Amino acid sequence: MGLFTPKWKSNNPDKRKEWIETANPDDPKNQEILYDLAENDATWPVRFAAYQKLELENTYKVLAEIIKNENNWEIRKRAVEKLTDQILLANIAQKDKDHDICMTAVKMLTDPKLLADVAEHSEYFAARKAAVERVVDKIVLENVAKNDSDIAVRKAAVEKLDEHDVLLAIAKNDQDFSVRQSAYKILNLENCQEALTDRAKNAAYLKERVNAVEKLTNQAVLTDFVLNSKDREIRLAAVKNIIIQGVLNIVVKKDIDKDVRMAAVEKLTDQVVLANVVINDQESIVRHAALTKLTNQEVLVKVVKKDKDLNNRKKAIALLTKQELLPEIIIDCKDFDICTIAVSNLNDSELLGLVIDQLIEKLNHENVQLLKQIFKKVTLLQKDKNKILQREGFEVAKHRDSKVHIDGFNCDTGNIYNYYCHKDYPAEYFKL
């Protein structure tokens, strides 16, 4: 360019802008130059400055150019807000790279078909979601709800649907948990077994999953949870709703958590399984829970004889109601405390007589104490006194006195006394 080249012809775009800023737009020559710059200048800022000078910045053509070429997003947004051309707005909503510009274009759209087109085809999920929220066409909404790749968009479409079969299909088949639950909720089926199962398996928070399991009644689903879940809280909630005895049997045998096993015990009715729990479970609290449910008298006898926990054995004998089972325990049980309880509970005089004979036959220190306890209930017969003394090596002879004191044992028989006592069982054992 020459030394006196006009600024509007300068190779420097800043100088061309300087000329535009000072030019009088009312001058016909300047108008011609401004129009030429606005239409043909290679630099967008120069063209935009010329449009502004000519007060053409709000025309459709200029607005479109602003949206296409302007770097300042606020200027572009204001341009979009001035647009009324629905096709151009739809094109912007589908393809513009700026999120805010896309969203602004969607807000400016009023044509239902173009809104639907944006809802189905925009490259940006936020624009699709915003369009969906304004779409009323059920076919479009159904298509988006079933096929959109974005969870939030599908969910927005689902929330506008009311067709039962469509919603039910989405509730059962959508890949995302939140979309499925939204469909169940719209159908008022959020507490149906399918929805609860879905929530129990897939909810993000354990508390929500547990809450769902607590409402489940489907035994197959509950069985799967109680046998396979790694969360003790889930297994605990599931076992409380299990009614299948076979499943409860497995739980009390195999679950590693005492609270889960205990919950299973509370629902068990199988006496054999309960006895097995009482005898074999490692936790005393679980064994005790099982014991309180035992009613089978023969099983209770087994517990009394075999359980390793004294408190459980005492509880078992307290639950025995059949008198005929007590003598066996008194005679055979090696636990003196248990034998004592059995003697206390035995009230049948005929059975007590049989026990007395057996205890005398197997007389030892413990049996003597048991006999003393029995003789507080029944009168000691002379023959039994003689048997005791003879069994342990006592001399029995006629004596002139009507009363004889035998090592602390007051006899009213008038015919018993002893000169010595057995070497293994001192005479004080027989202070009956």
DSSP calls for 244-300: -HHHHHHHHHH-S-HHHHHHHHTT---HHHHHHHHHH-S-HHHHHHHHTT---HHHH
SS3 content of the chain, % helix, strand, coil (to 5): 65, 0, 35
Which residues lie closer than 8 Å to 31 by C-beta, 6 or more apart? 25, 54
The residue to which tokens 């290679």 are assigned:
42
32: three-class secondary structure by DSSP: helix
| CA separation for the pair 324, 326 (Å, rounded) | 6
Answer whether 333's CB lies under 8 Å from 325's CB.
Answer: no
| CA separation for the pair 139, 113 (Å, rounded) | 12
Q: Burial, 397: exposed, middle or buried (Cβ in 10 Å; 0-12, 13-18, 19+)?
A: exposed
The pLDDT of residue 421 is: 42
Tens digits of pLDDT across the chain (432 residues): 555 677 767 777 887 777 777 787 777 776 677 667 666 676 777 777 776 776 666 677 777 777 777 777 888 888 888 888 899 999 999 988 888 889 999 999 999 999 999 999 998 999 999 999 999 999 999 999 999 999 999 999 999 999 999 999 999 999 999 999 999 999 999 999 999 999 999 999 999 999 999 999 999 999 999 999 999 999 999 999 999 999 999 999 999 999 999 999 999 998 889 988 988 888 989 988 999 998 888 888 888 888 888 888 888 899 999 999 999 999 988 889 999 999 999 999 889 989 998 888 887 888 888 888 988 888 767 676 666 666 554 433 333 333 333 333 444 433 333 333 444 444 444 444
From residue 79, alpha-carbon distances to 48, 55, 107 in Å are 12, 14, 13
In one letter, which amino acid is 52? Q
327: three-class secondary structure by DSSP: helix
Taking alpha carbons only, the member of 258, 261, 237 closest to residue 248 is 261
Answer whether 159's CB lies under 8 Å from 168's CB.
Answer: no
Instruction: Quote the tokens at residue 111.
Output: 């044509």
Where do the structural domains in the chain lie, given as residue ranges?
142-190, 322-379, 395-432
CB atoms within 10 A of CB 276: 16
| CA separation for the pair 16, 35 (Å, rounded) | 13
CB atoms within 10 A of CB 74: 9
